[in-house]
Amino acid sequence: MLALQGDFREHAHVLTELGAHVVLVRRPAELESVDGLVIPGGESSVIDKLSRMFGVAGPLRAAIAGGLPVYGTCAGLIMLADTVLDAIEGQESFGGLDVVVRRNAFGSQNQSFETELVIPELGEQPVHAAFIRGPVVESVGPAAKVLASLPDGRVVAVEQGSLLGTSFHPEITGEHRFHEYFLRKVRARAA
């Protein structure tokens, strides 16, 4: 669990409930001890700055390139995107997902909303999704796969190999299937 900023505690709670051993990653040595990583929602520019300040950005980029399973929600999706639109001056992402994302695509905090999404990879039951100043995936490259879109076609969940990204926050709605899906990726790589 990347624990530099954002709602990492909520993710840690869900992962613990699902039986995972959670390590709060703030330094490169902690990153070396994990089999998978969740990058939480928060403020992507702050996560970027803190990851460089604590020396974890470079090692995390290398780990992603090496196949470390990583799940990013909201700001975490931004951090996994190869290209970020509307980034602040000097903002960098970790990359890895062959997508272009737009920060804060759903507007300000008071424009947050919840909806149901059909995601076949997670079963027949719709996924309850909460969007809070979330990004949207503007385009998906050939290496990435769309998992979910809104009725208007905007892409809000993607995966690419061991990487998973959502524009929304399943950790705050009691929706655990994305975390379960991610943990299957972690266990498969560890085995």
Please list the active-site residues.
74, 169, 171
**Measured between alpha carbons, how far is residue 17 from residues 8, 13, 27, 176, 182 in Å?**
14, 6, 25, 9, 14
Asked whether the beta carbons of 129 and 156 are under 8 A apart, the reply is: yes
| Burial classification of residue 35, based on how many CB atoms lie within 10 Å of its CB (0-12 exposed, 13-18 middle, 19 or more buried) | middle
Question: Largest Cα–Cα distance of the chain, in whole Å?
Answer: 44
| Class of residue 32 by CB neighbours under 10 A (exposed 0-12, middle 13-18, buried 19+) | exposed
